Amino acid sequence: MRNARLMASVAAASLLSSAVALADADPKIQRLWKAQCAACHGQTGKGDTDKGKQLKVNDMTTAAFQGKTDDDFKKAIATGVKWEAGDMPAFKDLTPDQVNGLVKLIRSFKK
């Protein structure tokens, strides 16, 4: 019983910290994330949406994903990403400030 409570507490803390990360983001970046990214990557970057699971989207909260450079993220946003399950489109119409804001938000998802 204690283990179940502990696991529930840890899960709740994890969700809360991810929700706080999005809440701390610039409101314009939040709207951009929700409009362009969240359908696949989820609100918290875990890729836990139906579409994200279908496309096998990486969990942005993991150390492996967070080990990428900011330039890696910027390139993925600007040019898109191709992989077996599907492709992430390029978002060429974003301003440098929007891209930097998205990278900052992605960094805030780390565990």
pLDDT tens by residue, the chain, 111 residues: 554 454 444 444 444 444 455 557 799 999 999 999 999 999 999 999 999 999 999 999 999 999 999 999 999 999 999 988 889 999 999 999 999 999 999 999 997
Give CA–CA dist 79/74, Å, rounded.
Answer: 8
User: What value does the CA radius of gyration of the chain take, rounded to a whole number of Å?
Assistant: 15
Instruction: Name 63's Cβ contacts closer than 8 Å, sequence gap at least 6.
Output: 110, 111
* pLDDT for the residue numbered 57: 94
The residue range of the domain holding 61 is: 2-108
- Diameter of the chain measured on Cα atoms: 52
* pLDDT for the residue numbered 22: 56
Assign residue 10 the CATH number of its domain.
1.10.760
* pLDDT for the residue numbered 111: 75
Percent helix, percent strand, percent coil in the chain, to nearest 5: 65, 5, 30
Total number of domains constituting the chain: 1
**3-state SS class at 43:** coil
